[in-house]
Amino acid sequence: MHIVGICRFSLLGRGDWQAYRGKADEEIEDIALEQAEILYAPERMEARLASFEHITLASIAAQTDKRFHFLVLASEFMPEQYRARLDAMCARVPQVILRYFPMTTAGDATMLMLEKMNINLADTVQFRLDDDDGLFVNYIQRLRHFSNNLSQVTDAFSLSFSGVLFSVVGGEFAGSYHWPVAFFSAGAAMRHPRATIFGFGHFGLQHRMTSLTVPGRLSLATHTGNNDTQEIDFHTIRRRGMRLIEPAQLETLVQRDFPYLTAEGRAIAGLPAQIAAAAE
């Protein structure tokens, strides 16, 4: 069984950004070129490169089970100065395979890479991870274990480790929250003989095929205001059932699930200053 993770790093083309929703194919190129100005704005790129290096790639490099690939899908439209830095970051992690694409979709880019690697979808567990999120340190090990338990499923299955350490960086509701959610994007996984994981909405995976939800570990998600996601307010926190994590418990969770976070990584992730200081 192969395990392959996929990350879109400022990939230009039709995606799940709100700007693309409900648009016809002939409109996509114009919208994408407009989005490029946002995607590659210096402030945004600095933030994305920092979170990708210190959270996402750090979580990949720290995995206890090293037997997997991590595909990074980037765009040929990315300015050269950022491409050089991204190249250098990815080269330091053996599991990472970085490729640049013309305007495309994440699904098409993933399929092209898997075909070139001679990887059969039917024998592959795919997982997704955004460029500002992280996995718990033994994610691959546990994903392999539970996927093997599902090996008798004849067609497709999906798998999620439920629970997210959701860190709101800045603003009125800044803090580290426990969000009791399954099939959040960070670490959502599936095996499907014909499709890539980007062919389905991550929350919809559990409804589209046989699924397994495993409690006990957390993924790490950051919300900075640069994400194309819903703003965090009191009603969102209440509706999601999110609760603030006390500092002592937070440190225990970070040491258990995200011990790879340096002081800089913790600061980027929005962890409280006193905990970041304790990691020095």
- In sequence order, what DSSP letters do the residues of 127-164 get, joined into one string? EE--TT-B--TTHHHHHHHHHHHTTT-SS-EEEEE--E
123 pLDDT more than 90: yes
| pLDDT computed for residue 33 by the predictor | 78
**pLDDT above 70 for 272:** no
Q: Given pLDDT bands bounded at 50, 70 and 90, which one contains residue 160?
A: very high
Is the pLDDT confidence value at 15 over 70? no
Q: Give the whole-angstrom CA distance, residue 73 versus residue 7.
A: 6
Nearest Cα neighbor of 160 from 219, 120, 111, 110 is: 219
Q: What is the mean pLDDT of residues 19-41?
A: 72
Question: In 3D, which of 85, 87, 111, 96 has the Cα closest to residue 63?
Answer: 96
> Which distant-in-sequence residues (6+ apart) come within 8 Å of 10 by Cβ?
39, 40, 45, 48, 74, 75, 78, 131
**What pLDDT, on the 0 to 100 scale, is given for residue 271?**
87
Of 231 and 88, which is predicted with more confidence?
Answer: 88
For residue 18, give the amino acid letter.
Answer: Q
- Architecture of domain 2-278 in this structure: Alpha-Beta Complex (3.90)
pLDDT tens-digit series, residues 161-197:
999 999 998 888 889 999 999 999 999 999 999 999 9
Element (H, E) at 75: strand 69-75
Exposure of 245 in the CB half-sphere (CA atoms within 13 A): 25
Q: Is pLDDT of 99 > 60? A: yes
Q: What is the mean pLDDT of the chain?
A: 90
19 pLDDT exceeds 60? Answer: no
Q: Give SS3 for 4.
A: strand
250 closest CA partner among 225, 269, 223, 233: 269
Domains in the chain: boundaries: 2-278
Q: Which residue has the higher pLDDT, 19 or 74?
A: 74
**Core vs surface per residue 212-223: b (16+ CB within 10 A) or e:** bebeebbbbbbb
- Looking at residue 74, its amino acid is A
